[in-house]
């Protein structure tokens, strides 16, 4: 399938995809804890703030795919927990510009379950790939419309012509 590129603010965004069968997957949740306090003491007095505990959970998902040419590819997602099972067929859509150092995952389409998971939406793609200024709302809206149309077209083509 051919993916069409398009321009936003003179920067061309290129799209690529790959499809494969899930060989294995691992989800890990790593708890993060922090403790902090504050205050100051000086020659004229001061105060000491009570300690505050902070916690959060970081999710990491890694899965291996077997691509159509027989090669295997590792995919790692931080902050996502996408339901996958071994032997399911999935496609991953990526975006990048000629000047970006890496590609960013845009969507994961599970062809077996017909579910789509947006990984990076239009706003985060613009922040990552383009020197985007919020006052250029019309460029953002045009990009958003094109991205939604593009993902819909991509999903429709994968459902009609899997493989």
46 lies in some domain: no
Taking only the tens place, the pLDDT of each residue in 88-138 is: 999 999 988 887 788 889 999 999 999 999 998 877 777 777 655 554 556
The whole-number pLDDT of residue 108 equals: 94
Q: Is residue 141 part of a domain?
A: yes
Q: Is residue 40 part of a domain?
A: no
Whole-model pTM over 0.75: no
58 lies in which domain range? 6-35+52-160
Residue 105 falls inside a structural domain: yes
- The total domain count for the chain is 1
In tens, the pLDDT along 40-76 reads 666 776 666 666 666 666 678 999 999 999 999 999 9
**Assigned domain for 120 exists:** yes
Determine, yes or no, domain membership for 136. yes
Does 43 fall in a domain? no
Average pLDDT estimate for 133-153: 67
Q: How confident is the model at residue 83 (pLDDT cuts 50, 70, 90)?
A: very high
What's the pLDDT score for residue 21?
Answer: 97
More confident residue, 75 or 36: 75
Query: Which three-class secondary structure string do you get for the chain?
Result: CCCCCEEECCEEEEEEEEEEEEEEEEEEEEEEEEEECCEEEECCEEEECCCEEEEEEEEEEEEEEEECCCCEEEEEEECCCCCCCCCCEEEEEEEEECCCCCCEEEEEEECCCCEEEECCCHHHHHHHHCCCCCCCHHHHHHHHHHHHHHHHHHHHHHHHCCC
- Examine residue 77 and state whether it is found in any structural domain, yes or no: yes
């Amino acid at each position: 399938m051919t993916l069409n590129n398009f321009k936003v603010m003179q920067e061309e965004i290129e799209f690529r995809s790959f499809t494969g069968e899930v060989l294995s997957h691992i989800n890990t949740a790593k708890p993060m804890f922090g403790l902090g306090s504050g205050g100051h003491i000086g020659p004229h007095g001061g105060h000491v703030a009570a300690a505050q505990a902070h916690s959060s959970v970081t999710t990491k998902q890694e899965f291996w795919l077997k691509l159509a040419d027989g090669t295997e590819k590792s995919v790692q997602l931080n902050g996502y927990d996408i339901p996958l099972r071994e032997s399911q067929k999935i496609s991953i859509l990526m975006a990048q510009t000629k000047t970006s150092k890496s590609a960013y995952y845009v969507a994961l389409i599970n062809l077996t379950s017909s579910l789509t998971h947006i990984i990076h939406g239009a706003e985060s793609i613009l922040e990552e790939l383009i020197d985007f200024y919020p006052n250029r709302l019309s460029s953002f809206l045009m990009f958003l419309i094109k991205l939604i149309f593009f993902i819909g077209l991509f999903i429709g083509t994968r459902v009609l012509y899997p493989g």
